Structure 1
Amino acid sequence: MDPATIIGIVVAFGAIIGVNVMEGGNPAALIVPPALVLIFVTTPLVAIAGGTLADAKTAGSSLARAFTGKVKPAGDLVPVMVGLAERARKEGLLALQDQVGSIDDEFLKAGITMAIDGTDPEELRDILESQVYSKQQADKQAAKFFADMGAYAPTIGIIGTVMGLVHVLENLSTPDKLGHLIAGAFIATLWGVMSANVIFLPLGNRLKRLGQLEAERMELTIEGISAIQAGSNPRAVAQKLRALLGPGEQAEAA
């Protein structure tokens, strides 16, 4: 579990509440049910309206992943694939069959299994790359859903404020109520802007980043399987895979 998103959102809200208190405000005054319903119910609904129900389901299933998901470093796969390359070079691909069960990466396991079954190298690469593309598209759509909510929320907040100001104009004959009504009217805009920039947009960016990291790991796996299938020298396999890693991961994979 990577708690970066939880830490960021919780601390950000803590800072906002702290500033509110420092300025003499009352945090309880920010809890206005109509404004909360408007932002946190209407915003997802208009995001759904801009896509399909399948998109909404994908985004919903990605929500837990956005908060707790963690991608294993791609460098972790290098020693595993180098070990597979050494055995395949000495004993042939069929010798890897008894090692498949011990591989904990499902994408690598599927690729090695297809290689053992004699799948043509080009066909195997096409199949694996298609899986990467499919996953990238799903991750992209989930990230877009939250980014769309981040774009809609401030405007929906303004709608709430306008409705609140209409209510203010209806009560001009009672000046003692105007201050409270005006303050309440702007709460919707506050929640719209705050939810967009503290919740929705960060979640979209988080999913986008997780998708990038997972795709990089899968692409590294494809290169490793291709090298193993071609019978490449294990040292050459290690050098090739490490070259695909970022500077920090290269040192860890060495």
Structure 2
Amino acid sequence: MDKLSLTGIVLALAALVGGSVLKGAGIASLWSPAAFVIVIIGTIAAILLHTAPAVFKRAFQIVGWVFSPPASDREELINQIVEWSNIARRQGLLGLESQVTRQDDAFLRKGLQMLVDGVEPEQMRRMLEIEVEQQEKHDLAAARVFESMGIYAPTLGIIGAVLGLIAVMKNLADPSKLGHGIAAAFTATIYGIASANLLFLPIAAKLKSVIHGSSGEREMIIEGLIAIAQGENPRNIESKLNGYLH
């Protein structure tokens, strides 16, 4: 569980609600079905038009990474790779065959299988890098779904405010309705700006960070496997991979 993300979203809600109360607007002023429909439903409609189905589906598959990113222990992974290099030095690359089925990660399993099969190091590098590149490209496109939502939401908030003001203008003959109508109109603007800056854009940024971290870990795996294939000394492999810890 990413405690920073959880704390962030709690503080965001507290800032919004607390600010409304401290300013004297009250909590009730933050609720507007009309603003919700225009801004939130409108943003979802826009993103559905904007995004390919596969990308949209992937976006909501990975959104959980904001609070629970994929488990990662680079130090343990480096130790594992060094252990494999020791096995390869003692028993040859075929000695790693028993390690293949023990790996839960499909990428790691594929790389080890290539080692066992005797794939040339440069060919192995190209094949694995293509997989990393394509996975990163696909996941970043999914993260940009939330970035786009953060762009659309404020604009739709302005549209909601304008629509609200149009409704107010129709009631100019009744001054008792003007104050409430203007306040309700600007609620849509709050929905748009707050959802973009406290939710959608931070989610996109966090997902991008997680995705880049995952790609960096896979690059480390590639370097380790290539070093094993080239018969490098285990100590040299460990020293090289330790650079990925920073």
Q: Say if 1:2 and 1:70, in contact at 8 Å, map to a contact too.
A: no
Other-structure match for 1:157? 157
Other-structure match for 2:243? 243
Cα-Cα RMSD: 1.4
Q: Which amino acid aligns with 1:70?
A: P
Q: Which amino acid aligns with 1:166?
A: I
Report the CA distance between 1:71 and its aligned residue.
Answer: 4.2
Q: 1:71 & 1:134 partners in 2: Cα distance?
A: 21
Q: Is 1:167 aligned to 2:167, yes or no?
A: yes
Further displaced range: 36-45 or 98-107:
98-107
CA-to-aligned-CA distance 1:98-128 (integer Å, 9 cap, x gap):
2223334432222011110122222211111
Q: Say if 1:111 and 1:225, in contact at 8 Å, map to a contact too.
A: yes
Q: 2:9 & 2:20 partners in 1: Cα distance?
A: 17
- Which sections of structure 1, spanning at least 5 residues, go unmatched? 247-254
CA-to-aligned-CA distance 1:5-28 (integer Å, 9 cap, x gap):
232112211122112222222112
Q: Say if 1:153 and 1:196, in contact at 8 Å, map to a contact too.
A: yes
Residues 51 and 103 of structure 1, relative CA distance in 2, 3 Å threshold: closer
Q: Which amino acid aligns with 2:182?
A: I
Other-structure match for 1:180? 180
Q: 1:40 & 1:62 partners in 2: Cα distance?
A: 20
Q: Is 1:225 aligned to 2:225, yes or no?
A: yes
Report the CA distance between 1:63 and its aligned residue.
Answer: 2.1
Q: 2:210 & 2:19 partners in 1: Cα distance?
A: 32
Q: Which amino acid aligns with 2:63?
A: L
Query: Equivalences for 1:53-64 in 2 at 5 Å?
Result: 53-64=53-64
Q: 1:151 & 1:18 partners in 2: Cα distance?
A: 25
Aligned residue for 1:244, secondary structure, equals: helix
Further displaced range: 12-21 or 83-92:
12-21
- Which sections of structure 2, spanning at least 5 residues, go unmatched? none
Report the CA distance between 1:225 and its aligned residue.
Answer: 0.2
Q: 2:96 & 2:244 partners in 1: Cα distance?
A: 24
TM-score, normalisation: structure 2 = 0.95
Q: Which amino acid aligns with 2:91?
A: E
